[in-house]
Amino acid sequence: MASQAYHDRDGVIWMDGEFVDWREAKVHVLTHGLHYASAVFEGERAYGGQIFESRRHSERLHHSAQELGFEIPFTVDEIEAAKVEALAKSGLDSAYVRAIAWRGSEMMGVSAQNNTIHLAIAVWHWGDYFADKMKGIAMTHAQWRRPDPKTAPCKAKAAGLYMICTLSKHAAEREGYADALMLDWRGHVAEATGANIFFMRDGALHTPTPDCFLNGITRQTAIKLAKARQIEIVERTILPEELSTFSECFITGTAAEITPVRQIGEVDYKPGDVTEALVTDYSDLVNGKIMMPA
């Protein structure tokens, strides 16, 4: 059975400083953010009534807006308070939190210097991004590549940067895969369509240097957890021909959390002890059973 459409749900959404009925949280069809992708967003998860790394997400939202040349008319503290209230009004302890800021509809065209900047925050239930994730997901190779930083604001969590991610994930799903591995413009391993990626070899975790894609908050958390277990972290250029030399693989992201990978194209991996330990550590961390490592 299809899930309930996102525009047709009970509840409220925080918009520009006040709560509105979920079904009435609308924007005009000539909104600049819709036509020209002048929008930035954050995806966050709440566990046990607490939004994990909430402030870092709010700070990144502000940074992303600055990268796109606009300023969000709410401070980080105001966004933090709004998220807490939105989560409370949702009645959910564990939830997904989406904050999004965008240019409005005063001007229509490439230039929109005088458009109002809007901010909305919605909260809903969202379980595991991948079903039976400890089995490990199967990935294929994406046709599209992450762009050169000279061609796009790659350090922003900007809506427009996800167009090629949607294209890549749709293509992967049509072929029976859960996700796709994206290379960067140089042909180096970059990330999945919405998550960072790690590989295990000879006791060390290898991960691409985030020089043209987001250094994800979950990615940084996974690195801290691995270091706390005395696991060596190697951030470097990873070439596609190296994929068969690794024994384990996993992806990280707010939605994916830490998800094992069992296959990338023709290469197979076995979710092993390191991956399993980090999945457990991450679950313990976000649920307040352990403290964030230094």
Which sequence positions are flagged as catalytic?
A: 157
Q: DSSP letter string over 186-228?
A: TS-EEEESSSEEEEEETTEEEEE--SSS---HHHHHHHHHHHH
Angle at 165 between CA 164 and CA 170, to 5 degrees: 100
SS3 130: coil
b/e burial code for range 70-98 (CB count within 10 A of at least 16 → b): bebebebeebbebbbebbeebebeebbbb
Burial of 193 (0-12, 13-18, 19+ CB in 10 A): buried
Task: Return the number of other C-beta atoms located less than 10 Å from residue 48's C-beta.
Answer: 10
Q: For residue 220, give the nearest of 272, 160, 137, 285 by alpha carbon.
A: 285
CA distances from 36 to 28, 108, 160 (A): 14, 9, 8
